[in-house]
Each structure stands twice: as C-alpha cells, then as structure tokens.
Structure 1
C-alpha cells in the first residue's frame, strides 16, 4: 500500500497524507467487496476539506483517486465512486465556508470603510489602494435594498468580469446600493448605472467626486448620497445626479440665515397671489430650466404660452424682480432654489 501511495503522490502531486485512508478503503473493497463505512466517508470528507484549504485543485484530487484505482488490483470502482463523492463534498463545503467568511469580512470592511474606519492593510486585502483617488456611485431604489438581495451579487459579478475584482467594490449601506471604483476607471460608474437601469424600475443615482486617502471614499459616498437627497428635495428630473454639478447647493445651505433672508425678501410677496405661491414658483422653475423659452416652459407645465407670460408679469408686480432682467433673474433663480431647499412654502420660514 505504501508503494502505491508513493507512486500516486509522485504522479499527481497530491500529498500522501490526503490519500492514506482512501487506499485503505480500496484495499478493503478489493479483499472483501465492502464499501466505505460512515466513519471512512467522514475521514475522506475531512481530507477533501483539507485539500481545499491547502489550495490543491479538485481535479488533481480526482485524478489521484482514479490513478490509485488503476494501480489497485480487482474491481474497486464502486468504492472509487463513493470515495470521490466524499472527497468532493468535503472540498465544496470547505470552499463555501471560506466564501462565507470572505463575504462576512467584506461586509464588515465595507461598513468600516464608509464610516472612515478602514485601514490600508485591510483595504489592500480587498484590492483597494487608498493612496489612489476613488469615487462612489450610489443608487437609491424604490424600496430599500438589503445585503442579501441577489441583484447585488449579479451586478457585482458583471462589473468584476469587465473591470476585475481588485477594481470594484459593490455593497449595500443604509439601504443604498454603493459602487466604489478608482477614478481612473471612469467607465465603471456608468456601467454600474447601466446594470441598475436594466434591473430596477424606480431608482435615482448620485455620483460623488473623486477623492484620495483613507477618508476619500467616505467623502465621495457622502457627496453621492447627498446628491440623491438634493435631487428629491428640489424635484430635479435627471435620474443620475453628479455632486460636481450641484456644488452651489451646499454653499447655499452653509449660510441658512442668508437663504432665509433671501427667500423672505424676494419670494414671500408671492403668498399674496390667488391660490398661493406654488404655481408661480413652478412657473419660474420651468422657465429657468429651459433658459427662458416660454414655449418650452409651457409645454413642460401643460399650459399655454399666454399663461406663462401672465404669471411672469404677476411675479414681477408682486416681487419687483423680473425674470427677463439678467441680474434680477439670477436673484430670482437663487431664491427659488433656496425655497426648495427650505421646503417653502410647505414649511413656514423661521
């Protein structure tokens, strides 16, 4: 038996300690016709798991089993079949256990990463080099997503197949689907959104700016999530919002007192209009969105061009600001944006 064990190990490269019990099973089958016992099957499952942990390919383990059967006298292939099944079962269980541990570690790492608690060594294990610039693309679905959603796995597999496992990190954070990718891979974020668009009916995406360093991913993630929030508060139409295009809004929010003063001074007179200020605010938003084209604004609102003209004149009379004057237009547009940020007129001004 030792001679057979040595020959099989030399021919296949499978360590002898993984095959000792298997050869005993073959010998017993040849001598008595007895199939492997439950204890022997458990031992071979353990050897299969050990082979997986040592990184021995399953095909080599199978080849060693078949080669040993060739060298053993008599008909032992019924024992071979049962033994190979035990080896493979143990091997696969070890692989699944390793995958679960990796996924658990990945989820824990992502949670720490997006809270600014990840260190460089852990990041490198998952393929992230924190000295590089990274950007986050965040998606908010109609219903909050969870880490166990199969959609997440499908999207991640598609992105990894194109860009490589060391360039893409897909996870769920606070019900949002997050994709982190190097800034040098500009197409990754767009590909991520492409798969989201194909899988979800209701969604909105935010794209953060590239940032480097341990806190860079956190900053980009916060910018992307903030872009989604701003889009909802302001009723912006695009489904994909870039934080770089919305930089004026954080500036406005930093001085809340100034924005309250602007909205009060410029727009508060609209409350005197019949039916309240909402229709006039919507008119201003539509006109500003199409660069002052009354026909296009009327089409957006589903009203006549004459109604647009009437409302703009009403706004000029009530506020003293004309949307056709360049300087006054800027003041009006900023005030309207400020009103949406303050959720006025639904919420009263301080």
Structure 2
C-alpha cells in the first residue's frame, strides 16, 4: 500500500487531496529547497477543495503530518520548512474557501430576507426551507426600532437569534435588519417567541425603543402582511403618543378602520373639535387633557398626575371643553364621540403646526 493510500485509510482524507504533497516533502529533503510558488498555489487549491468537500481541518492537518512521518526518514531543517509552508498553504486555501462560503451564505440570506419581506415569490418557499422556514405554516413578524437605525452586521442580530434558538430549540426563527429595524420572523404557533424577542430588545436597546408585533398569517404573502402590520403598529404608537413600548397590531385594529374613511373622520373632527381652536393657548392642552382622562378611565386625579398639573386644573380644562364643544366626557355617549374625535385628530395630525 502506497503512502497516500495508508494516510487516506488512517485519517479518512481522500487521497487526491494529498496528491503531489509527498513529492514536495521528498524534494525538499533531497535538495534543501522550499516549494516553489506554483506548488504552494496547488496545495492552497487542494485546501480549498477540502473545505468545499466538508473535510474537517483537523483531519487534513493530521493527514499532512502523517504523510510527512511516512515519507521522511530524517527531518532536517529544509524538510521541516517545506512541511510548515505546505501545511500553511493547505490551511490558507481551506480558510479562504470557508470565508467565501460564509460570504455567499450571508448574501443569499440578505437577498432572501429582502424577497420575503417584499413578497417577491421567485422560488421563495424552496429558499425558505434552506433557512428553516416552512411558509405553508402561519408566521408572525415583530419589529424593533431603536433611536438609530439597526444595520446588517450588527452583533445584536446574531446575539438575539442565538438566544431565541437556545430558548425554543428551533431553527425556524429568523432575525435580521431591514429598513433600519430589527426584524423577527417566528412561527405563529410559537406564541412566546415575540415576547422573548421584546425581552431581549428591552435589555439591549436604548430607552426610546419600541416593538411592533403583527398578526399571524400563512404563506409568503402572510409574512409580508404581518411585517407591515408590525411597522404600522410602531407608527401608530408614535402618532398617537401611546405609552406602551410593545404594541400588537391585533390591539390597534380600530385605528386603520377610522383612517379608511378620511372624509368621515375629518367631518367628525370639524364638528366636535374645531371650537377648541378658540381656547387661549390653542387646542393642544385641552386635547392632552382629554387623552389623559380617557387613558385613566375617567379618573381625573390620575390624569392630573400623568399631566403634572393639579386635579383642579383638569376639572377646569374639562369644563372648557364642555362649554366650547357642547360635549362632556362625563356623558357616556358624548365621551365616546369625544374620544373618537381625539383619536382621529391624532391620526390625521389635527391641528397642524401651522394651525396651532
């Protein structure tokens, strides 16, 4: 049995990956010369081939050393130098192939995420399986916003993804950066995943973070829908000044309903709230007071604490609202009308800064 066959049998490394290597060692031992550049390039290429074929680096190094042991009867300085250069070439080629594979995988992942969140369906289900997603199932999307955009390559992406996989033992969770947001795509059946995502966001991001969570939907288009719902939840929270930092689209369904009939909501605002523009200081303090009272379920003392004013000031402002508009927050029917008008005002940005 020749040297390469012995090494291959002992280490499991295919003999063709070592072809030419024994000759390199023998030539160095006989002449004292180190391997030429073209020989090093050939060994580097074989190292890359080993990586592409899934041969472990430890096995490859072991094969190189065993080949040297079987080939050389004595190890002089030149031979050891050739051995060192040959092993370095194998390792360099191997690592280069691994790095290229990682870059290609990351590029494929980035392209897949872009296509997934934009609904481009070219081989999407097939590609999704490569990343552990089965799009026939329902998926839910959560997005997190920080004070500054979150970019590809942020260590936070990998850290949170590893934490979720460790917690749930599942690889069909995807964490990525998209449009400056941190995005989490998780199976709808894994109901705790979005809560765990929000937990890690809370621990990692600045105090002004906010998380939006879409509803579960099936299919590639379902992921897009849930992603848009999650982003809309954050935008609604900002527009309405909502205090919770984690907002679920399912809890905010009434607001898109209001926006669908813009003409009706503008008519409601004009009828109910326009008289507040006559108040000294403009309508904003009265709108803020109404919002605080509604949020406190009508408790004026709690509303005063939220606003940082006295309960008497809250009572005075509510009386001003009643006198100017004819609507009282104490009357159940009128309260509903007032609250809907105030929500609509925040949704469409009434009053504008120019008007205020």
Is TM-score (shorter-chain normalized) higher than 0.5? yes
Matching residue of 2:92:
89
1:112 lines up with 2:115 in the alignment? yes
1:283-340 CA-partner distances (Å, limit 9, x unpaired): 0100111111111110010100011111111111221211112221111111110010
1:60 lines up with 2:59 in the alignment? yes
Contact 1:44–1:83, Cα closer than 8 Å, also in 2:
yes
Of residues 202, 206, 209 in structure 2, which corresponds to 1:203?
209
Comparing 223-232 with 146-155, greater Cα deviation is found at: 146-155
CA distance in 2, matches of 1:325, 1:302: 25
Question: How far did 1:162 drift?
Answer: 3.9
Matching residue of 1:183:
188
- Which secondary structure state, in structure 1, belongs to the residue aligned with residue 328 of structure 2? coil
1:246 lines up with 2:245 in the alignment? no
Question: How far did 1:139 drift?
Answer: 1.3
CA distance in 2, matches of 1:90, 1:241: 49
1:229-260 CA-partner distances (Å, limit 9, x unpaired): 10111111111111111111011011111111
Contact 1:321–1:329, Cα closer than 8 Å, also in 2:
yes
Alignment TM-score, normalising by the size of structure 1: 0.94
Question: How far did 1:149 drift?
Answer: 3.0
Matching residue of 1:311:
317
- Which secondary structure state, in structure 2, belongs to the residue aligned with residue 114 of structure 1? helix
- Which secondary structure state, in structure 2, belongs to the residue aligned with residue 291 of structure 1? coil
Give every structure 1 segment of 4 or more consecutive aligned residues whose post-TM-superposition deviation is greater than 4 Å.
none
Alignment TM-score, normalising by the size of structure 2: 0.93
Matching residue of 2:242:
236
- Which secondary structure state, in structure 1, belongs to the residue aligned with residue 107 of structure 2? helix
CA distance in 2, matches of 1:190, 1:62: 46
CA distance in 2, matches of 1:262, 1:136: 34
Contact 1:69–1:77, Cα closer than 8 Å, also in 2:
no
Aligned pairs, how many?
Answer: 348
- Which secondary structure state, in structure 2, belongs to the residue aligned with residue 228 of structure 1? helix
Comparing 31-40 with 202-211, greater Cα deviation is found at: 31-40
**What stretches of structure 1 of length at least 5 have no aligned partner?**
none
- Which secondary structure state, in structure 1, belongs to the residue aligned with residue 140 of structure 2? strand
Map 1:1-350; keep pairs closer than 5 Å.
Answer: 3-72=2-71, 73-75=73-75, 76-118=79-121, 119-163=124-168, 166-201=171-206, 202-346=208-352
Contact 2:131–2:172, Cα closer than 8 Å, also in 1:
no
Cα RMSD of the aligned pairs, angstroms, is 1.8
Question: How far did 1:226 drift?
Answer: 0.3
CA distance in 2, matches of 1:232, 1:32: 77
Change in Cα spacing, 1:178 to 1:15, as seen in structure 2 (3 Å) is same
